[in-house]
C-alpha cells in the first residue's frame, strides 16, 4: 500500500482569504476547461494495411497524437449534430460528440494521452471474430416488445474482455452493433434506465463502452449490419465506423474495399440492405417492400466488382449477411441468403477461402461439395450478445449445393483463429472464455467439432 507522508503546514503558506475564496468560487462554478476522449480505436480501411485512427470526443478540438517522437494532428471526421437530413417522419438522432481521425500504417508508434494505440502489425497470427453484439430493446410490428435483460443476460462486455485477453492481432466485427432502438417499456426491469434510439448514448452503451478493452489491444475491421441501415443506425455507422469519408446522404450500399495484413486479405462487402426479396428477415423488419431481385442482384454485383480485381491469393470475404446458411423462421428452415449467392457466387475466385458473416444469431460452419460454381465454406458468428435464434437442423443442401460438413451451435461467444502455416486453426469460446468447439480451415475446407 502506498504511504502518504504528512507535511507540516505553516500559516505563511496559506493564501489570503480573498484569494482563497476566489479560488473556491472558480472551482465550484467554472465548467470543464477541456473535453474528454470518450472512445478511441484503430480500424483497417484499405487498401492493403492502411488504417484509420479514430477518436470520439466532447472536446471543442481534436486531440494531437504523439507519433515516432513527433506530433500527429487529428482531423475532424464529423461534427456534433445530425450527419444526414432527417426524413419528414423521422427524428434525427442526437450526437453531441465530435469524431476525429487520422491515417496510420504499419510500423508506427502512436500515443494517445500517453498510451500506445494498436496500429496494424506486420505479421498477422491471431484473429478474433464475432458479430451481432448489442442488447435488444425492440418494438415489434404488432405493438408488443422484445426486450433482453441488459443487466444480467447480455454477455457482450464479458465476451469483449475475454477476447482482449487472447491478445489478437486483428478483430473482425461482422455487423449489427446497435439494438437499443426504443425506450424500455414501462415496468420492465430488464432494460430500465437504458439509453435508446440511434444517437451517441445508445451507441456508447451498446458498443463503445463494452468494447473498450478489445478496442485497446488490436485494430479492427468493421462490417456494416442491417441494424446500421439508413432507416436505423445509419447515421452512427457512417459517422463512426465506415471505412470511407462520410457521404452527404445515407447510402444503402457503401463501397467495398480490400484490406490485408501479411499474406491474408479481406474483401469487405456491404450487405446491410441485401435481404432476399419477398422474404421476411430474421428481425421481421424487412418484407415485401424489398427491391426486386434483378435490381438487387445488379447492385450487389457492381459493389463486389469495386474490390474484385484486387483480391489477394489468400482471402476471406467479410459480409454481414451470409451467402449460404440456414435459419428458422415461423417453424420452418429457410436459406439465407439466395440473392447474394445468385449475384456474386460465380464471381468468387479460388483465392476466396471462406465467407465470414453474422446476422443469424448462432454459430454455423458449413462446407460444400464439388459444384458449379465451386463454393467456399460459410462461417456464421452472430454470437456476440444479442439474444440467440432458434437452432435449425443440420442441412443437407443449401442454395442447390450439397453440404459436406456442418456444425451448428446455439451459444454466445467469440471465435479465435490462429495461423498454422497457410492453414488456420479456430477455437470457439463461450461468454466465460471456455472453449466449446475447434475448427480447421485448409484451402476451401472448413471442419468444426465440439469440444
**Span 149-180, pLDDT tens digits:** 998 999 999 999 999 999 999 999 999 999 99
Q: How many domains does the chain have?
A: 1
Please check whether residue 372 lies inside any domain of the structure.
yes
Please check whether residue 1 lies inside any domain of the structure.
no
Among candidate residues 187, 297, 274, the one with its CA nearest the CA of residue 228: 274
How confident is the model over 234-252, as a mean pLDDT? 96
287, pLDDT greater than 90: no
**DSSP reduced 3-state for 202:** helix
Band the pLDDT of 288: cuts 50, 70, 90. very low
Assess contact for 116 and 109: CB atoms under 8 A: yes
How confident is the model over 13-39, as a mean pLDDT? 47
Please check whether residue 18 lies inside any domain of the structure.
no
424, pLDDT greater than 80: yes
- Position 309 scores a pLDDT of 74
Q: Could you give phi then psi for residue 441, rounded to 5 degrees?
A: -125, 115
- Position 92 scores a pLDDT of 78
**Residues forming beta bridges with residue 56, ordered by sequence position:** 39, 99
Cβ neighbours of 324 (radius 10 Å): 27
- Position 94 scores a pLDDT of 92
Please check whether residue 347 lies inside any domain of the structure.
yes
Q: Residue 325, by phi and psi: left (phi above 0), alpha (psi -120 to 50) or beta?
A: beta
Q: What is the CATH number of the domain that holds 338?
A: 3.60.21.10
Band the pLDDT of 139: cuts 50, 70, 90. confident
With a threshold of 0.85, does the pTM exceed it? yes
Among 104-108, 199-203, 291-295, the minimum mean pLDDT is found in 291-295
How confident is the model over 107-114, as a mean pLDDT? 88
Band the pLDDT of 335: cuts 50, 70, 90. confident
Mean pLDDT of the chain: 87
**DSSP reduced 3-state for 298:** helix
- Position 20 scores a pLDDT of 34
Top-confidence residue, 107 or 316? 316
Q: 285-304 burial, b if ≥16 CB within 10 A, otherwise e?
A: bbeeebeeeeebbebbeebb
**211-229: per-residue pLDDT in tens?**
999 999 999 999 999 999 9
Among candidate residues 88, 36, 87, the one with its CA nearest the CA of residue 58: 36
Assess contact for 451 and 433: CB atoms under 8 A: no
Cβ neighbours of 252 (radius 10 Å): 14
Q: Residue 132, by phi and psi: left (phi above 0), alpha (psi -120 to 50) or beta?
A: left
- Position 305 scores a pLDDT of 92
Position of cell 482531423? 75
Residue 195 belongs to domain spanning:
118-450
Band the pLDDT of 277: cuts 50, 70, 90. confident
- Position 282 scores a pLDDT of 47
83: which DSSP letter?
Answer: S
Residues 6+ apart with CB under 8 A from 28: none
- Position 34 scores a pLDDT of 62
- Position 77 scores a pLDDT of 98
271, pLDDT greater than 70: yes
Assess contact for 407 and 391: CB atoms under 8 A: no
How confident is the model over 169-195, as a mean pLDDT? 94
Assess contact for 340 and 321: CB atoms under 8 A: yes
Please check whether residue 140 lies inside any domain of the structure.
yes
Assess contact for 65 and 111: CB atoms under 8 A: yes
Band the pLDDT of 10: cuts 50, 70, 90. very low
- Position 178 scores a pLDDT of 97
Among candidate residues 400, 312, 411, the one with its CA nearest the CA of residue 365: 411
Band the pLDDT of 189: cuts 50, 70, 90. confident
**93-102: per-residue pLDDT in tens?**
899 999 999 9
1, pLDDT greater than 60: no
Position of cell 436459406? 335
**DSSP reduced 3-state for 408:** strand
Largest CA-CA distance found in the chain, in angstroms, rounded: 91
Band the pLDDT of 91: cuts 50, 70, 90. low
Please check whether residue 253 lies inside any domain of the structure.
yes
Please check whether residue 321 lies inside any domain of the structure.
yes
Top-confidence residue, 203 or 311? 203
How confident is the model over 338-351, as a mean pLDDT? 93
Please check whether residue 67 lies inside any domain of the structure.
no
Band the pLDDT of 140: cuts 50, 70, 90. confident
Amino acid at each position: 500500500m502506498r504511504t502518504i507522508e504528512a507535511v507540516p503546514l505553516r500559516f505563511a503558506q496559506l493564501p489570503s482569504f480573498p484569494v482563497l475564496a476566489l479560488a473556491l468560487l472558480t472551482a465550484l462554478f467554472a465548467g470543464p476547461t477541456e473535453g474528454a476522449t470518450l472512445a478511441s480505436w484503430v480500424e483497417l480501411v484499405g487498401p492493403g494495411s492502411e488504417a484509420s485512427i479514430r477518436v470520439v470526443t466532447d472536446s471543442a478540438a481534436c486531440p494531437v497524437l504523439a507519433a515516432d517522437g513527433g506530433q500527429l494532428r487529428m482531423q475532424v471526421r464529423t461534427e456534433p449534430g445530425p450527419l444526414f437530413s432527417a426524413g419528414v417522419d423521422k427524428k434525427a438522432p442526437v450526437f453531441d460528440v465530435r469524431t476525429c481521425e487520422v491515417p496510420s500504417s504499419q510500423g508506427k508508434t502512436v500515443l494517445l494521452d500517453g498510451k500506445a494505440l494498436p496500429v496494424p502489425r506486420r505479421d498477422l497470427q491471431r484473429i478474433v471474430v464475432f458479430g451481432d453484439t448489442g442488447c435488444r430493446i425492440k418494438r415489434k410490428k404488432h405493438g408488443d416488445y422484445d426486450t433482453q435483460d441488459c443487466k444480467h443476460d447480455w454477455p457482450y462486455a464479458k465476451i469483449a474482455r475475454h477476447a482482449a485477453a487472447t491478445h489478437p492481432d486483428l478483430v473482425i466485427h461482422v455487423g449489427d452493433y446497435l439494438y437499443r432502438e426504443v425506450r424500455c417499456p414501462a415496468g420492465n426491469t430488464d432494460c430500465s434506465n437504458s439509453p435508446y434510439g440511434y444517437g451517441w448514448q445508445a451507441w456508447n452503451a451498446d458498443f463503445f463502452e463494452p468494447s473498450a478493452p478489445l478496442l485497446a489491444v488490436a485494430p479492427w475491421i468493421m462490417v456494416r449490419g442491417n441494424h446500421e441501415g439508413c432507416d436505423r443506425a445509419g447515421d452512427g455507422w457512417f459517422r463512426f465506423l465506415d471505412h470511407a469519408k462520410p457521404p452527404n446522404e445515407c447510402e444503402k450500399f457503401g463501397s467495398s474495399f480490400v484490406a490485408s495484413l501479411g499474406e491474408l486479405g479481406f474483401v469487405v462487402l456491404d450487405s446491410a440492405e441485401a435481404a432476399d426479396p419477398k422474404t421476411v428477415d430474421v428481425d421481421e423488419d424487412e418484407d415485401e417492400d424489398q427491391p426486386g431481385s434483378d435490381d438487387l442482384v445488379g447492385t450487389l454485383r457492381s459493389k463486389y466488382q469495386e474490390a474484385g480485381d484486387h483480391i489477394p491469393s489468400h482471402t476471406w470475404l467479410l459480409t454481414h449477411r451470409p451467402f449460404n446458411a440456414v435459419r428458422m423462421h415461423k417453424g420452418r428452415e429457410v436459406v439465407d441468403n439466395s440473392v447474394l449467392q445468385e449475384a456474386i457466387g460465380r464471381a468468387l475466385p479460388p483465392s476466396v477461402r471462406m465467407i465470414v458473416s453474422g446476422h443469424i444469431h448462432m454459430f454455423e460452419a458449413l462446407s460444400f461439395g464439388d459444384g458449379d460454381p465451386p463454393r467456399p465454406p460459410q462461417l456464421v458468428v452472430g454470437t456476440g450478445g444479442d439474444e440467440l435464434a432458434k437452432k435449425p437442423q443440420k442441412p443437407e443442401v443449401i442454395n442447390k449445393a450439397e453440404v459436406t460438413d456442418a456444425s451448428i451451435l446455439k451459444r454466445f461467444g467469440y471465435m479465435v483463429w490462429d495461423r498454422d502455416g497457410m492453414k488456420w486453426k479456430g477455437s470457439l469460446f463461450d461468454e466465460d472464455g471456455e472453449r466449446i468447439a475447434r475448427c480447421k480451415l485448409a484451402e476451401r475446407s472448413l471442419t468444426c467439432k465440439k469440444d
